[in-house]
Amino acid sequence: MSKRAQFTKHGFRNLLFFLLLYLFISPVLVDYPSIAIVAHSLLSLALFFSVWAVQKNQNYRSIAMVLLIPVLALYWLGLYKIIPFDLLSAYALLALFYMLLIIAFGGQLIRSHRIDLQVIYGTLCLYLIIGLFWGALYSLLYEVSPGTFSGELLKMPQGSLLTTFNYFSMVTLTTLGYGDITPQNHASAALCQIEAITGQFYIAVVVAWLVGNFIADRRNHPQK
């Protein structure tokens, strides 16, 4: 079986589309209760397509499919505050779900030695999933102890909490550090520090890996 066959056809491309759609559109919509449901639906679609992008013959896909059901159920219940601690549980399961995707996608990319569009899509998806993983961790930490972070954006409605921390996570992952949200204790500061290191490490390693595999592929399969 060729290395290309490891990837579900168009799996990473579709996932990247919905991830970008969610990240770009949700910050605009969550402040308006009448249309905020669209933003939350985009997240649900991104989570669904993330399972579809996991390699079929991996156990991770089955685990992700089973985990996705309680993740979505608790997330939607948490939005409407139907049961106690539902948001807390949703953020915890969401972080676990993202961690599973990081392991699965990372393994798929490492085993691929041919650089094609699916691999490029996969590396971009993995980078965004890493950012969303930390966003879920920050949301979980803030839900447990609201004093762990401070900033003007956190004074906005509770429904935008995950979107706010997704933004903060992407800013931290890329080491931009605008300062509009800041950690207020050692635990939250440590998470931010680890994420910033992870972001720089990912970019350095992935770029080197892509270039190295591309050069090796050209040498092994020279163009006629």
Structural domain contains residue 144: yes
Q: What is the CATH number of the domain that holds 43?
A: 1.10.287.70
- What pLDDT is recorded for position 2? 41
Structural domain contains residue 3: no
- What pLDDT is recorded for position 27? 87
Number of domains the chain contains:
1
pLDDT, averaged per 10 consecutive residues of the chain (224 residues), comes to 52 94 90 84 94 83 92 86 78 95 91 81 94 96 92 74 93 89 93 94 86 70 56
The residues, any chain, with a CB within 8 Å of residue 213's CB and separated by 6 or more, are 112, 113, 114, 115
- What pLDDT is recorded for position 34? 79
- What pLDDT is recorded for position 137? 96
The parent domain of residue 185 ranges over 8-220
pTM, two decimal places: 0.89
- What pLDDT is recorded for position 7? 57
Q: Which amino acid is at 98?
A: Y
- What pLDDT is recorded for position 224? 45
Structural domain contains residue 2: no
Structural domain contains residue 211: yes
Token pair 């050209």 in the structure block, residue:
218
Of 5, 99, 92, 3, the closest CA to residue 50 belongs to 99
- What pLDDT is recorded for position 153? 85
Whole-number CA gyration radius for the chain: 18
- What pLDDT is recorded for position 212? 77
Structural domain contains residue 1: no
- What pLDDT is recorded for position 48? 94
